[in-house]
Amino acid sequence: MATTPASTKDSEKPGDRSAVRTLLRLWPYVRPVRARLFTAAFVAVLASCTGLVIPLVLKWMVDGPVADGDSTGVWFGALYLLLLGLAEALLFGLRRWLVARPLAGVEAGMRAGLYRHLQRLPVAFHDRWASGQLLSRGTTDLMLVRMFLAFPLTFLLVNGVTIVVGVVIMLIQDWKLGLVVLVPALPVIVTCVVFESRYTKVARRAQDQVGDLTTVVEESVLGIRIIKGFGRHRSQARAFRELARTLRGTELRKAGLLATIWGVIVTLPEVAIGVALVLGTVQVADGELSAGTLVAFLSTALALRWPVDSIGFLLAMSQEAATATERYFEVMDAEPESQTTTAAVSASAPPAPSAPPSASVSDAGSGDSGLRFHEVSFRYPDAPEGTPPVLDRVDLHIRPGESMALVGATGCGKTTLTTLVPRLHEVTSGRITLDGEDITAMSRAELRAKVAVAFEEPTLFSAGVGDNVLMGAQDTAGQAELERALAVAQADFVYALPQGTDTQVGEQGLSLSGGQRQRLALARAVVGRPRFLVLDDPLSALDVHTEAAVEAALREVLGETTALIVAHRPSTVLLADRVALLSGGRIAAVGTHHELLRTNAEYAHLMAGTEEADR
């Protein structure tokens, strides 16, 4: 199964990142709503401090009206307590209202930003990353970030202020008892430091495993026909159970760490409060302390139980949010495709050595008009050091209005060559020009408006048939362009669908046959009347009769554009004006189909093999 650079095995390495430093990267997203967040934090502090006034009212009641037998005073005290409780509840409700809408907006903005960034990242990035890992970053991780901003971020501050104010109140009431309650502070702090280090690693591991599990689910859904067709549902279920069991173990490890810190944080303060209760009772019995003061002291200590007890899970949520933030920015920090001119790319690449005279097979025609490859070499960025390039000094010229078939054995680099034209991958050295203009000197938007592509494996989206086809045209394209493109691709079957061109084709277009999907992909390539057309074996899934009909309609389109067509069948090759043979990553021969059949043994062998396969 594919894993990302941030895979689960990497998450076990101790990181040197600071959770605070990581979470500070959220500030640009939070800044627009900072006023409401600061207001919410102030309201929460006010509500918490309002709760600390209650023990002081209790002290007044016990030492005053209760001791004096003043029932009226008791009723007034009860009224004060009720009002303080209502004020505290209303203030916390106001805090929740203040943060709900803006933080939902922050999450939505971050998710939209991630999606936009993913569209701008190069194909090489998507080749390396599992889709489930990207999906989990846009869903689970951002949910954890929102929860952190809504709760831990505020209450780490609020509880800190509450603890400080409460301790001051207790020390004022009786400094000796206050010191007793403060004894557990040091071991609690040490426990929190140790907990943070260990919990960070486990939280990262768990979130990466969620991404792996998401990938398996997504692949199983998309590949359900293969799983059922080969009876592999049991093996897939076993693989899923193994990942789920691994994730369960990691989550239990998280729970164990959380239980440990909670045990320490809850037990030690409770013991200290118990000791303070005994000592305070003795002092009251000896007349050294008033009963009201002891009640106020213990009430304040008990009011601090929640702020102290919550430290454990607030730290846990903060660590998970820091890990989620780190995972989010692993994607956002990836370098996107440049949207501006990047002519320096080719200029900065080392010059390719000149090809030997015998290998120079580019067209002898003058000028750089049309589509031209100038000594183009390509090696995948993550290829092992020392491996030969996929393409080596390819020199090829397709004249304006000409169609060129690209032929070669499987794995020789034909598809890779076609991806270089729309800059799905960047050339390692050399350059590609369209009508004499280097493609790296164009913006990607300009380049991709000129070049249309259709790949052997067609991809359709969960949208209407018409929407899928019109993705290949400008926004102004209408029904006439759609009907023309469908006619060229012999995709008249769409009119028999339940809602015609508005019929939803479903995820990946799996409700259609392979040939139908391929014809829609071809229609999408030609609908915008592109100046340059790149087709990667676009007719491989069609039967002989449909292929012939498509070829007949396609000839008219090819007469209006400059085309590069990856071909395997002789019938597809015959669509082109000339043929280029790619062998060993280099152009071995260029000529017409009949010329190469007579003069090139490798080409004749390839064509003989495809003819035999077609029979």
In tens, the pLDDT along 275-317 reads 888 988 888 888 888 888 888 888 888 888 888 878 877 888 8
* Rounded alpha-carbon distances, angstroms, from residue 131 to 34, 218, 222, 545: 33, 8, 12, 38
Task: Report residue 138: phi and psi, to 5°.
Answer: -85, -10
How far apart CA 521 and CA 509 sit, in angstroms, is 11
How far apart CA 378 and CA 416 sit, in angstroms, is 9
Residue 145 pLDDT level (bands cut at 50, 70, 90): very high
How far apart CA 372 and CA 71 sit, in angstroms, is 100
- Could you tell me which residues are beta bridge partners of residue 571? none
Token representation of residue 389: 């390039």
Look at residue 214 and tell me whether its pLDDT is greater than 80. Answer: yes
Torsion of CA 492, 493, 498, 504, to 10 degrees: -90
Residue 490 pLDDT level (bands cut at 50, 70, 90): confident
- Residue 302 CB: number of other CB atoms within 10 A? 12
How far apart CA 349 and CA 377 sit, in angstroms, is 10
Q: How buried is 499 (Cβ within 10 angstroms: 0-12 exposed, 13-18 middle, 19+ buried)?
A: exposed
Could you give all domains of the chain from N- to C-terminal order, each with its CATH number?
Answer: 27-332 (1.20.1560.10), 367-460+532-614 (3.40.50.300)
Residue 358 pLDDT level (bands cut at 50, 70, 90): very low
576 SS3 class = coil
Look at residue 513 and tell me whether its pLDDT is greater than 80. Answer: no
* Rounded alpha-carbon distances, angstroms, from residue 524 to 387, 453, 455, 460, 486: 36, 9, 11, 10, 9
Q: What is the bridge-based pairing of β-strands 391-398 and 371-378? A: antiparallel
Mean pLDDT of 598-608: 87
Look at residue 508 and tell me whether its pLDDT is greater than 80. Answer: no
DSSP 612: H
pTM: 0.72
375 SS3 class = strand
Residue 511 pLDDT level (bands cut at 50, 70, 90): low
The reported pLDDT for the residue numbered 433 is 92
Look at residue 397 and tell me whether its pLDDT is greater than 90. Answer: yes
Residue 367 pLDDT level (bands cut at 50, 70, 90): low
Look at residue 332 and tell me whether its pLDDT is greater than 60. Answer: yes
How far apart CA 376 and CA 341 sit, in angstroms, is 19
Q: Minimal CA–CA distance to 371: which of 383, 381, 359, 363?
A: 363
Look at residue 327 and tell me whether its pLDDT is greater than 80. Answer: yes
Residue 1 pLDDT level (bands cut at 50, 70, 90): very low
Look at residue 363 and tell me whether its pLDDT is greater than 50. Answer: no
HSE-CB of 276 using CA atoms within 13 angstroms:
30
DSSP 384: P
Q: Which residues touch 45 (CB under 8 Å, ≥6 apart)?
A: 157, 158, 161, 162
Instruction: Decide which of 141 and 123 is more confident.
Output: 141
Mean pLDDT of 118-131: 83
Radius of gyration of the chain (CA): 35
Q: Minimal CA–CA distance to 12: which of 242, 329, 314, 246?
A: 246
The reported pLDDT for the residue numbered 157 is 85
432 SS3 class = strand
Cβ 434 vs Cβ 532: under 8 Å: yes
Residue 27 pLDDT level (bands cut at 50, 70, 90): very high
- Residue 431 CB: number of other CB atoms within 10 A? 20
Task: Report residue 386: phi and psi, to 5°.
Answer: 90, -10
How far apart CA 10 and CA 163 sit, in angstroms, is 38
- Could you tell me which residues are beta bridge partners of residue 143? none
Q: What percent of the chain has pLDDT over 70?
A: 89
The reported pLDDT for the residue numbered 474 is 67
The reported pLDDT for the residue numbered 331 is 92
Torsion of CA 519, 525, 529, 530, to 10 degrees: -150
Angle (CA) 497-503-507 rounded to 5° is: 115
In tens, the pLDDT along 566-589 reads 888 888 888 888 999 998 889 999
End-to-end Cα distance, the chain:
37
Residue owning tokens 């009251």: 284
How far apart CA 563 and CA 533 sit, in angstroms, is 5
Residue 328 pLDDT level (bands cut at 50, 70, 90): very high
Q: In the structure, how many helices (H) and strands (E) does the chain have?
A: 26, 10
- Residue 615 CB: number of other CB atoms within 10 A? 5
Cβ 277 vs Cβ 174: under 8 Å: no
Token representation of residue 417: 């060559």
The reported pLDDT for the residue numbered 14 is 41
Give the range among 82-86, 132-136, 365-369 with minimum mean pLDDT: 365-369
The reported pLDDT for the residue numbered 29 is 92
How far apart CA 104 and CA 146 sit, in angstroms, is 7
Torsion of CA 10, 13, 18, 19, to 10 degrees: 60
- Ordered strands of the 371-378 beta sheet: 391-398, 371-378, 429-434, 437-438
- Residue 203 CB: number of other CB atoms within 10 A? 25
In tens, the pLDDT along 377-390 reads 998 877 777 788 88
The reported pLDDT for the residue numbered 53 is 85
Angle (CA) 231-233-235 rounded to 5° is: 100
